[in-house]
């Protein structure tokens, strides 16, 4: 709710030459306008929502101290205004006596409008003590000084009222909305088994609950503790509410809410993820079994070769998978969520390890197959060029073939035999001279 700004300043000076009738009339018109502005501002301050809240609240801290001083300032404001009103009424009374005021009338008007004849009771007189000496029972002001005093008191009072009202308008409603979101999150957390002492998110929710309750109590009782004055702003209410604690609680609740939603997502697709996990681990087991079988075959068929050992099935992963199934049956979603995440990563790693183990174990068989293919490819090439009946090639081919198709196969010796056959075939297929075609019509080397 807005309140009118500071009272308009008074342009009069100290008593000087006696005013004439026109000067007196102009001064009275100006004073009348000032009186209306002052009254409007004071009534607006009186009806300000922030002021009414301050009057009815149980205040604490800095707000209680400043409101006590502000109440005194507002009381003094009305005292000054009453004196201002009285002076204006007296001046109007003098001017209304006759159409053409006498010199005595003009002297009296000049004293009222420019002199320091406005007496106001001194609110500090009751606090006099023997140490400080007697206090004056009243103070005297010019109308200019009185308006300046009222301007200052009004600005300070309005600043305090507006600041408190701004905090009350901004924070309690936002805290209540956040508390409602907190209640929904707590309900959701309980549904997925997230409770204090059992899950970190449950502990976080308990802490956020305490913080919001404390924050709301402090904001309601001491709003000025949550007010940040604007730098260099002299206008009443210049500044903004300090929402840092609220913002931290809101961020913390958002983090917890995302975590709860992740747990909830686990509840919704837990069975599918468990089925996929069982499938991945089953494939890893089958791959390891295949690797163990292949290792036996390699040891029987390949000589002079180091074949790596094959580990057994991952029993630890199977045990943890059984624990995950147990968590699902008992709706312990908060425990199932991180366990499934870890199991999915480790199961994929296990399948990759099993495949690497199979590849490593069967490498000698792959080498033998590659040598067999190379030998037959060269033989076919030689046959295409009419060299299949060459005795040396037949001899070297038969030797390499016996070595590659015998068990156990010596891969090193078989590789050398294949290389010897390749060299012999290359020499036979090479051109007899650089200028003509090669033997059997083949014009290049292998």
Name the 3-class secondary structure at 227. Answer: strand
Q: What proportion of the chain, given as a percentage, has pLDDT over 70?
A: 87
Mean pLDDT is highest, among 121-125, 199-203, 428-432, for: 199-203
Give alpha helix (H) positions in 385-432: 391-404, 411-429
Query: pLDDT tens across 90-102, in order?
Result: 778 787 787 888 7
Flag the least confident range among 160-164, 290-294, 332-336.
332-336
3-class secondary structure, 409: strand
Please work out, in degrees rounded to the nearest 5, the angle formed at the alpha carbon of residue 285 by the alpha carbons of 279 and 287: 100
Q: What is the pLDDT of residues 28-43, one digit of tens each?
A: 888 888 888 888 888 8
Q: Which helix (H) or strand (E) holds 67?
A: helix 61-95
Distance from C-alpha of 192 to C-alpha of 211, rounded to nearest angstrom:
23
Omega of the bond leading into 6 within 30 degrees of 0 (cis): no
Task: Compute the average pLDDT of residues 398-425.
Answer: 86
Residue 171: exposure state from Cβ atoms within 10 A (0-12, 13-18, ≥19): buried
With contact defined as beta carbons under 8 Å apart, do 91 and 113 qualify?
Answer: yes
pLDDT digits (tens, 9 = 90+) for 285-309: 898 888 888 888 887 778 756 777 7
DSSP H/E element including 240? strand 239-241
CA-to-CA distance for 227 and 146, rounded, in angstroms?
31
Instruction: Indicate if the pLDDT at residue 192 is higher than 70.
Output: yes
User: How confident is residue 247, by pLDDT bands cut at 50, 70 and 90?
Assistant: very high
What mean pLDDT do residues 321-344 have? 82
pLDDT of 133 higher than 70:
no
Say which residue the tokens 């904001």 belong to: 219
Per-residue confidence (pLDDT) for residue 441, from 0 to 100: 38
The whole-number pLDDT of residue 324 equals: 86
Query: Does residue 6 or residue 269 have the better pLDDT?
Result: 269
Whole-number pLDDT of residue 205:
93
Spell out the long-range contacts of 326-330 with Cβ–Cβ below 8 A and sequence spacing 24 or more: 328/270, 328/271, 328/274
pLDDT bracket for residue 193 (50, 70, 90): confident
Half-sphere exposure of 386 (CA within 13 A, CB side): 6
Q: Give the residue among 119, 109, 33, 114 at the shortest CA–CA distance from 79.
A: 119
Q: Which of 235-239, 274-278, 283-287, 417-421 comes out lowest in average pLDDT?
A: 235-239
| Chain mean pLDDT for the chain | 81
Residue predicted with more confidence, 410 or 204: 204
pLDDT digits (tens, 9 = 90+) for 350-404: 889 889 888 888 888 888 888 889 888 888 888 887 777 888 888 888 888 888 8
Tell me the pLDDT band of 440, cut-offs 50, 70 and 90: very low
- Encode pLDDT of 50-84 as tens digits: 888 898 889 999 999 999 999 998 988 988 888 88
Q: Taking 70 as the threshold, does the pLDDT of residue 128 lie above it?
A: no
What's the confidence (pLDDT) of residue 136? 59
Instruction: Count CB atoms within 10 A of the CB of residue 59.
Output: 21
**Spatial separation of the C-alpha atoms in residues 400 and 375, rounded to whole Å:** 8
Q: Residue 225: which pLDDT band, with cuts at 50, 70 and 90?
A: very high
What is the helix (H) or strand (E) element at residue 189, kind and residue range? helix 143-191
Distances (CA, A) of 287 to 11, 54, 74, 312, 361: 100, 77, 88, 11, 11
Q: What is the pLDDT of residue 340?
A: 87
Residue 195, pLDDT score: 81
Alpha carbons 272 and 266: distance in angstroms, whole number? 10
Please say if the pLDDT value at position 435 is more than 50. Answer: no
Given a cut of 90, whether residue 202 has pLDDT beyond it is: no
Band of pLDDT at residue 218, cut at 50, 70 and 90: very high
Mean pLDDT (whole number) for 221-247: 83
Element (H, E) at 367: helix 363-384
Specify the pLDDT at position 13: 43
């Amino acid at each position: 709710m807005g309140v009118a700004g500071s009272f308009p300043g008074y342009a009069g000076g100290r008593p000087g030459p006696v005013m004439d009738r026109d000067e007196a009339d102009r001064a009275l018109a100006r004073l009348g306008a000032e009186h209306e502005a002052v009254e409007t501002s004071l009534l607006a301050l009186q009806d300000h929502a922030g002021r009414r809240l301050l009057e009815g609240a149980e205040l604490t801290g800095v707000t209680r101290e400043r409101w006590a001083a502000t109440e005194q300032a507002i009381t003094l404001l009305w005292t000054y205004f009453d004196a201002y009103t009285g002076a204006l009424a007296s001046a109007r009374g003098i001017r209304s006596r006759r159409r053409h005021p006498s010199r005595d009338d003009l002297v009296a008007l000049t004293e009222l409008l420019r002199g320091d004849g406005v007496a106001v009771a001194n609110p500090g007189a009751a606090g006099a003590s023997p140490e400080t000496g007697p206090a004056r029972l009243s103070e005297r002001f010019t109308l200019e000084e009185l308006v300046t005093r009222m301007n200052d008191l009004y600005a300070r009072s309005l600043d305090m009222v507006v600041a408190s009202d701004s905090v009350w308008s901004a924070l309690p409603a936002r805290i209540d909305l956040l508390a409602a979101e907190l209640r929904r999150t707590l309900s959701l957390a309980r549904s997925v088994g997230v409770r204090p002492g059992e899950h970190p998110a449950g502990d976080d929710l308990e802490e956020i609950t305490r913080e919001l309750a404390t924050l709301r109590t402090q904001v309601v009782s001491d709003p000025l503790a949550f007010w940040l004055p604007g730098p260099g702003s002299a206008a009443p209410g210049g500044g903004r509410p300090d929402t840092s604690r609220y913002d931290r609680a809101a961020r913390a609740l958002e983090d917890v809410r995302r975590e709860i939603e992740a747990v909830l997502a686990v509840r919704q697709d837990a069975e599918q993820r468990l089925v996929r996990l069982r499938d991945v681990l089953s494939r890893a087991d089958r791959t390891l079994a295949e690797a163990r079988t292949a290792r036996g075959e390699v040891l029987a068929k390949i000589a002079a070769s180091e074949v790596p050992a094959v580990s057994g099935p991952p029993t630890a992963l199977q045990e943890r998978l059984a624990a995950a199934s147990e968590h699902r049956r008992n709706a312990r979603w908060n425990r199932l969520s991180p366990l499934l995440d870890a199991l999915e990563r480790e199961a994929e790693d296990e399948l990759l390890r099993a495949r690497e183990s199979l590849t490593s174990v069967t490498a000698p068989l792959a080498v033998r197959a590659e040598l067999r293919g190379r030998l037959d490819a060269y033989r076919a090439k030689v046959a295409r060029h009419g060299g299949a009946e060459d005795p040396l090639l037949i001899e070297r081919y038969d030797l390499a073939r016996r070595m590659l198709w015998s068990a156990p196969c010596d891969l090193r010796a078989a590789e050398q035999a294949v290389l010897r056959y390749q060299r012999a075939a290359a020499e036979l297929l090479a051109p007899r001279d650089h200028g003509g075609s090669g033997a059997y019509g083949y014009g290049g080397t292998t």
